[in-house]
Chains A and B, each alone.
Chain A
Amino acid sequence: MSSAREQVLARIRAALGRGELDPARTTELRDRIAMHRRHIEPAFDETPRQRFRQKLEAAEASFVELDTLDAVAAEIERYLEAHGAEKRIATSGDELLHAIDWPASIDAQPWVAGSDHRVSVTAAYCGIAETGSLLLVSGEKNPTRLNFLPDYHIVVIEAKQLVLRMEDAWDSLRASTKQMPRSVNFISGPSKTADVEQTVEYGAHGPRCLHVILVG
């Protein structure tokens, strides 16, 4: 145990006018944590789908809705052509993307260390309607860097993955994994900065363009 640790803790306790918390109180606090009590959840009138789209578009993400996964490859090709982007893309290994049948005109490769792509396609863990956020989690098949390094970030998400609020995403994550993934990224628009004269410019460090494909 470092002495700085003990000193800081001792100072905190002295400031609070008490010693170490008794076990009963500690248990209470652990119970408070375990309850995952939600606070005020702002109401909204739109449907989750409307809201999700509206918020993302307001943040300058582009957005399309497709009926089936079959149409995703063609949509991505259209998007890349419209932006004059190269048709060489890195994909995450997410299962949702396995269903995509890439045409020969697109060079889509699962990401491997060292690869350098200007376009990435990843899948969201879920989408949060309240804030228009894509929630992406790291893992064996999901390198976090694909969310940040490319110029174009294309995210595929199924409509059934939409949740209302952040709190719903937490519950869903808790139910699906024992431990928080190493990285949980809420992405709510392309990268931007207002550090030059308080005026917004897109594409600061992360993707210049964020394209969201909502399926179903």
Chain B
Amino acid sequence: MQPNSRHFQANAESALREPNLQSALKQLESGFVAGRQRCYDALPEFEALRDRAKEVLDHTLDNLDAYLLEYEARVLESGGLVHWAGTPEEAREIVIRICRDAEAKNVIRGKSMIGEEIGINDALEASGFEVTETDLGEYILQLGKEPPSHIVAPAIHKTKDEISDLFLEHHRDLGFTKRQTERSALVNEARQVLREKFLAADVGMTGANFLIAETGSNVIVTNEGNGDLSSTLPRVQIVTAAIDKVVPTLEDASLLLRLLGRSATGQEITAYTTFTTGPRRERDADGPGEYHVVLIDNHRSEMLGSELRPMLRCIRCGACMNHCPVYGRVGGHAYGWVYPGPMGSVLTPLMVGLDEAGHLPNACTLNGRCETVCPVKIPLPNLLRSLRSRQHLQRQNSSLARIALSLWSWVALRPRLYQLLTRPAMTLLARLGASSGGFRNMPFASGWTRVRDLPAPQGSTFQARWQQQQRDRK
């Protein structure tokens, strides 16, 4: 997917004018946010779990090479293969090679964000494979040729009407000639269409919520069961996973699973949690004959060595975006790439470049709601702030803002000058605004006055009045 993050401002403004998107986003508070809160209130151990999860993941990251090697060894023992990819290009080449070697035609995919990150669908299609997303949300987006707008609920921005139209357009040739308008009928139609795809697929691709060093397993968490069918029915399974997905043991994964569903959708556990280890065993009744894991770095080792390391704890629950007031107003597409919201605003600049995604770390009020709900306690505001520091050092932020802020700091570092300048300035401003109480337009403050008035100050400054009072008292 081509990043479009440099147009965040324009993307956001058009999103704000999109009524369907706005009503979908309004549901976040009563849906995911309220659901997480219910889970939180029902589990006294929630905070202790967060602390322990952070500890376990930090330990894992400190020993990442060792745990990856343990994981790799267990996969090999179970009859699977592990492929390492430094870049998205390498990952795509590996996947395509596996599909070619398997003489595959049809590839089905269980939802995975790393698949979006490496752009696997376009690459497979360009190589002549038929690719079908099987997560309902992802499938809808595939039909609509759109990127996901949320990492857990990718089609959150689509209305039922739009889905009805898309299904009619794409399923008519398959014999579904009636435009369905009921939710249940739409779900059922997708079930029938995709069931055929499942049964015809040669390769099933999934991501991994976790990789387990102890056993060489990958874990996927779904409600639909699509990831599980993708792991079970085709003759080849390919797991694409980032290197930061590994955890040491099944117990460690259990700890994180207690946090994942609760933080993501307000579920104590999803309908399906599946641990897959290697290809089908010799005597197994079913399962794929080949099992491949593609381990992908894509800048994660770079993060590991920087102040952004805590980001690698992310378990992709989406709580940060559900609770983000900016995401909640503009939705995921405005961010212009695969990962939206607070976690995306940290990841995107690292993966597509700070010059492309320079807006993202700044499009945040640093209100910190994301950090308080992050199940693995990633200090998202601090990470965004440190990206701003990088921008400042690289002089990538807007020159006007730099000059204005530097000027402010320069004056603020000289209290006498500051007081000399501010008192007459505020007195003048107060006088100009006294009768109306505020300003509808203000030169050099159009960013402020475009959407709100600038209230008039009271006049003079506190310092001036205080000094005067002290003098009067003597």
Contacts and interface: CB of A to CB of B under 8 A. Distances in A.
Judge A-B direct contact (beta carbons within 8 Å): yes
Interface of A: 2, 4-5, 7-9, 11-17, 20-21, 25-26, 29-30, 32-33, 36-40, 42-43, 55, 59, 93, 111, 113, 131-133, 138-145, 147-149, 165-167, 170, 179-199, 201, 203-207
Contact of B228 (A17, A21, A111, A147): A147
Contacts of B70: 29-30, 33
Given A42-B43, A148-B229, A167-B254, A195 B304 contact: no
Contacts of A191: 223-225, 271-272
4 closest residue pairs by CB, A with B: A206-B225, A15-B305, A11-B301, A204-B224
Given A139-B281, A166-B257, A206-B229, 12 more contacts: A8-B86, A9-B68, A15-B301, A15-B305, A42-B43, A139-B285, A140-B284, A166-B250, A184-B217, A184-B274, A191-B224, A193-B223
Contacts of A196: 136, 155, 158, 160, 163, 183, 186-187
Nearest to A60: B271
Contacts of A40: 45, 48-49, 52, 255
A5 B84 contact: yes
Contacts of A166: 250, 254, 257
28 contacts: A2-B84, A4-B90, A11-B86, A14-B305, A15-B305, A16-B64, A21-B65, A25-B63, A25-B66, A29-B63, A33-B213, A42-B43, A138-B281, A138-B285, A147-B228, A179-B215, A180-B78, A180-B275, A181-B277, A183-B277, A184-B277, A188-B269, A190-B271, A192-B223, A196-B136, A204-B136, A205-B191, A205-B195
A149 B229 contact: yes
Interface of B: 24, 27, 31, 43-45, 48-49, 52, 56, 62-70, 77-78, 83-86, 90, 134-137, 140, 153-156, 158-160, 163, 183-184, 186-188, 190-191, 194-195, 198, 213-217, 223-226, 228-229, 231-233, 243, 248-252, 254-255, 257-258, 265, 268-281, 283-287, 295, 297, 301-306
Given A12-B301, A167-B254, A201-B187, A188 B272 contact: yes
A33 B231 contact: no
A204 B110 CA distance: 13
A113 B286 contact: yes
A182 B281 contact: yes
Contacts of B286: 113, 138, 143-145
Contacts of B243: 8, 12
B92 to A, nearest CB: 13
Interface of A, secondary structure class, is loop
B229 to A, nearest CB: 5
A215 B335 CA distance: 52
Contact of A148 (B194, B228, B295): B228
B268 A131 contact: yes
Contacts of B255: 39-40
A194 B301 contact: no
B241 to A, nearest CB: 13
B248 A193 contact: no
A182 B66 contact: no
Contacts of B134: 205
A187 B277 contact: no
Contacts of A205: 134, 136, 191, 194-195, 198, 224-226, 229
A140 B285 contact: yes
A136 to B, nearest CB: 10
Nearest to A165: B254
Contacts of A37: 249, 251
Contacts of B159: 197
B3 to A, nearest CB: 23
B274 A33 contact: no
A171 B225 CA distance: 26
Contact of B265 (A14, A194, A206): A194
Given A2-B84, A180-B275, A138 B287 contact: yes
Nearest to B50: A40
A179 B295 CA distance: 22
A141 to B, nearest CB: 7
A10 to B, nearest CB: 9
Nearest to B217: A180
